[in-house]
Amino acid sequence: MPTELDRQRIDRWLWHARLVRTRGAAAALAGSGHVRVNGTRIAAASRTVRTGDVITVALERKVRVLKVRGFVERRGAAGTSTRLYEDLT
């Protein structure tokens, strides 16, 4: 369930939201140029995101557009990860 965090690194958020399997894969995805935050391409895994930001992620054969709804300290079960975002795709 989302906590009172107000921002988080994009690589941690992608991993907690279960868009990728490992934190290293999340960092590589963020650094590859396949992620946009509010329409701006990012090049570093250290970019922070806040509640309300819109993240566009190009994954293999699909593009997902997600609105950040919250953050968690630890990665939880798959069912709880969907509370972190609203799918705008």
Number of alpha carbons in the 13 Å side-chain half-sphere of residue 22? 3
**What domains can be seen in the chain, in order of their start residue?**
7-76 (3.10.290.10)
As a whole number, the mean pLDDT across the chain is: 92
C-alpha dihedral (54, 70, 45, 20), degrees to nearest 10: -90
Q: Are 65 and 80 in contact (CB under 8 A)?
A: no
Q: Evaluate if residue 73 carries a pLDDT over 80.
A: yes
- pLDDT at res. 80: 85
Q: Tokens for 50?
A: 């806040």
Lowest mean pLDDT among 20-34, 46-60, 67-81: 67-81
Q: Tokens for 65?
A: 């557009």
pTM of the model: 0.90
Confidence of residue 18 (pLDDT cuts 50, 70, 90): very high
CA angle 1, 69, 35 (to 5 degrees): 120
